[in-house]
Structure 1
Amino acid sequence: MHVRHLTTTLTAADAYTMSAGRLGAILAALLGLAGVVVGGLALARPASRLGIGSGRLGAGVALGAGLIGMALGGLVVATSDDGIGTGNGRGGAYVALVVGLVAVVLGGLALARTRRTAGRLSRG
């Protein structure tokens, strides 16, 4: 056998290999998506008494999930070695950053709405 048959070359990760970057990007995107869902529910139903997607609790959960998703996505982007398509999770991390930002915006809007409605109720 020749030595060249025994050596391996480092290439992009296999399509079915779950690297740490891919797992981090998936987790960050799922956190951001959960924040978007809860933030949307809190924005659509601010006065509902049932569920986590209502009022200040829903807004806080959306803000927290969005911020954690963005932080984890940023960490994956900062620590990945190569570009998109190499299996390091950079593409998913970019998606997580955008989805996390949407969750933060929805959570902030829902929190502003709950503060505005609470101010009206206390005056009225």
Structure 2
Amino acid sequence: MSVRHLLAAAAAAPVLVQPVDAYTLTAGRLWSLVAALLGLVGVALGGLALARSAGRIGTGTGRRGAIVALAAGLACTVIGGLVVAAADGGPGTGYGIVGGYVDLVVGLIAMVLGGLVLARFRRKA
């Protein structure tokens, strides 16, 4: 890189951390939203699998639902962690850092639910 490119990047740096409108969908916010939806699917499947493993709601895909909940929770947590790690500013800057922290929590809940179901299946076997 030449000195001219470095100076141009340094001049543009303050523009990158300017707050954006609250309703602007930036790349960080989009990734946070995708991860949150994935995590919510994991929580729902983990909850249903937990209810099925207890025998309250029929029989069927309890173990498969638990594995999907674990995978969705892991993906949600990893994406949320990447969003938080890549964020250069705090809340309101458009980097999706608040959504990233929400993703970390939702993904962890999905993984815990999936793990509980798998532990219950191991005890029965």
Letter in 2 for 1:102: I
Q: Secondary structure at the match of 2:20?
A: coil
Q: CA RMSD in A?
A: 1.4
- Give the Å deviation of 1:108: 0.1
Q: Which residue of 1 aligns with 2:90?
A: 83
SS in 1 for 2:105: helix
Q: Does 1:99 align with 2:99?
A: no
| Distance in 1 (alpha carbons) for counterparts of 2:51 and 2:101 | 27
User: 2:52 touches 2:59 (CA, 8 Å); kept in 1?
Assistant: no
The percent of aligned pairs where both chains have the same amino acid is 60
TM-score, with normalisation over the residues of structure 1? 0.80
Aligned 8 A contact 2:32 2:99 in 1: yes
User: Which residues in structure 2 correspond to 1:13-24 (within 5 Å)?
Assistant: 13-24=20-31
Counterparts in 2 of 1:34-113, with a 5 A limit?
34-46=41-53, 48-50=58-60, 54-113=61-120
Deviant stretches of 4+, over 4 Å: none
CA separation in 1, counterparts of 2:106 and 2:66?
16
Q: What do the CA deviations read for 1:34-77 (whole angstroms, capped 9, x no partner)?
A: 11110000001125445xxx321010000000000000000100
TM-score, with length taken from structure 2: 0.80
Q: Which has the higher helix share?
A: 2
Does the CA-based 8 Å contact 2:22-2:92 persist in structure 1? no
What runs of 5+ residues in structure 1 fail to find an aligned partner?
A: 1-8, 120-124
Equivalent residue pairs, number: 107
